[in-house]
Amino acid sequence: MEQDNKIQQQRELIEEKESFGAAMGTLMTTTEKFDAVLTASVVPWETYERLAERAWTFRWDVAELAAATDQVEFETQQLEQAWAVAQLEMQSNASGSVYEAVIDSLGGGFVRSVLDNESCDGGESVLGCVYENDPLVVHFDAAENTQPFMTDEIRTGIAYHEFAHVLQFTNPEASEVAVTSFGGDWEVMADCFALTYLPGWALDHVVWTSSHEYWEVSIGHGVTCSEPQRQAVRDWYGQVGVQPQTIGTEH
Ligand SMILES: [Zn+2]
């Protein structure tokens, strides 16, 4: 009888290990869709690594293994949902704005844009911002958006600058290296991203609002980056994004 129980327990354990392995396999297959996604933090590899560690630590405990399997399945659902939401976001331009069109196309739908009056750090005349703790949302300032000098060209440049901040926050390791080419100045680096990738972009603009009236508008932080700095931005942009990883094979 005791022997039977042991065999039964072992069978359950083997089944549960197989379930965990299958769930992890599904999760890894799901991550493959994200290969071209630039906002790397969308795929939380450390969380997956922790779940694999947990399953290894509790490999003799059916209940713990089952709980780990549930969590892996939950992570797969999260990814699938993020993917579905991004596809919808890409297809729609809910606000009808240039801001949203640019952010959708740069961010592949994984980055949202909102036009609001959130007070971005830096006070008045801040045109937009991204919060480090909510890096997949770009805030564009609604009041500044109605300024007489505001043109779609300027909105596009602002959106490029803000998108660079999204990439900085969601790709911290690559960004820490790249920012050294800018003396640690994240803003000058973000300006440089716009200057490198938006054809014809400049920091200083003259905007005519009538035949005899114009505005001189400076967007950004006043430093037009050098060619080596542009190359640093290109190298960085080539590196950012979800990197395929292998989870939990070292045991
Ligand atoms: Zn900025």
Q: How far from chain centre, in Å, is Cα 5? A: 50
pLDDT recorded at residue 200: 95
pLDDT recorded at residue 57: 94
pLDDT recorded at residue 96: 81
Q: How many angstroms separate the alpha carbon of residue 114 from the centre of ligand 1? A: 16
Q: How many angstroms separate the alpha carbon of residue 164 from the centre of ligand 1? A: 8
Residue 75's contacts (CB-CB under 8 Å, 6 or more residues apart) are 27, 44, 47, 48, 51
Structure tokens at 74: 């939950």
Q: How many angstroms separate the alpha carbon of residue 152 from the centre of ligand 1? A: 18
pLDDT recorded at residue 95: 80
Planar angle of CA 37, 43, 49, nearest 5 degrees: 145
pLDDT recorded at residue 124: 61
Q: How many angstroms separate the alpha carbon of residue 84 from the centre of ligand 1? A: 29
The string of pLDDT tens digits covering residues 216-226 is: 999 989 999 99
Q: How many angstroms separate the alpha carbon of residue 153 from the centre of ligand 1? A: 17
Q: How many angstroms separate the alpha carbon of residue 100 from the centre of ligand 1? A: 17
* Local confidence band at 250 (pLDDT 50, 70, 90 cut-offs): low
* Local confidence band at 9 (pLDDT 50, 70, 90 cut-offs): confident
pLDDT recorded at residue 65: 95
pLDDT recorded at residue 14: 94
Q: How many angstroms separate the alpha carbon of residue 141 from the centre of ligand 1? A: 13
Q: Is the pLDDT of residue 249 over 80?
A: no
Structure tokens at 53: 């560690």
Q: Is the pLDDT of residue 2 over 80?
A: no
pLDDT recorded at residue 243: 92
Report the C-alpha gap between 153 and 144 in whole angstroms.
Answer: 14
Q: Is the pLDDT of residue 189 over 90?
A: yes
The string of pLDDT tens digits covering residues 26-47 is: 999 999 999 999 999 999 999 9
Q: How much is the pTM? A: 0.90
The string of pLDDT tens digits covering residues 83-137 is: 999 999 988 888 889 999 999 999 999 999 999 887 676 666 788 999 999 999 9
pLDDT recorded at residue 248: 74
Residue 197's contacts (CB-CB under 8 Å, 6 or more residues apart) are 160, 233, 237
